[in-house]
Amino acid sequence: MRYLTLSLLAVLLFSCGSYPKKQHFKTTENTQNVFSNPYFSNTSKDYIYKANISAYGKSFSGLFIVKKIEENQHRIAFTTEMGNKIFDFTIKNNTFSVNYILDDLNRKLLLNVLKQDFTALVQEHITISKTFLKDSTPIFETQILDKPHYYVTKNNSLSQIVSVKNGKAKTVFSFSKINDNIANKITITHHNITLKINLKSIN
């Protein structure tokens, strides 16, 4: 039993650590300890997106709104264009609170996924554990809610966040059309479950 436990632990450790190797990342010296995500960092601004969320065979369209309340606290709401709430969450110091969620989406598995997704999305200051390069592109490794994530930059802007499980990309956040510290287009794609979130800024 002890041998089996040690073997499983070794497999898990190898799987998590193998993602950079599989992607041909080159380890480089850490020149910074913290990476800052500026996309939802302004307390004076409401970040409003036209959204489409596909989950478990259902599709929801409406407005996705992110508001930074104070340091390390964000409010995230998704409503129909008529103003009816679909969900409403608060994230504070990595604590995820459900203010409201539609009954059709009120599933423990989905809530856990959205907690992981939205915590990564609004996390502003990320502690870097390792730094890599791929084709001269800096990539930063960190842990969010005890899960490995990789932050990929392009032209000095955050272009991707990749959440990894067992050495494979589990969730990919893609940021494009960057202007004035706003990602005007965001796509969150899951590779292990049927969930996709498309956001287009209407600010």
Give pLDDT, residue 51.
97
Domain of 89, in residue numbers: 2-201
Q: Which segments in the chain show pLDDT lower than 70?
A: 1-17
6-18 per-position pLDDT tens digit? 444 444 444 444 7
Nearest 5°: phi and psi at 119?
A: -65, -45
Give pLDDT, residue 81.
86
Number of domain units in the chain? 1
Give pLDDT, residue 4.
44
Give pLDDT, residue 61.
94
Q: What CATH number does residue 193 fall under?
A: 2.50.20
118-154 per-position pLDDT tens digit? 999 999 999 999 999 988 889 999 999 999 999 999 8
Predicted TM-score of the model (pTM): 0.86
Letter string b/e over residues 129-145, b meaning 16 or more CB atoms within 10 A of that residue's CB: ebbbeeeeebbbbbebe
Q: Are 119 and 142 in contact (CB under 8 A)?
A: no
Give pLDDT, residue 31.
79
- Complete DSSP assignment for 41-60: --TT-EEEEEEEEEETTEEE
d(CA 173, CA 157): 13
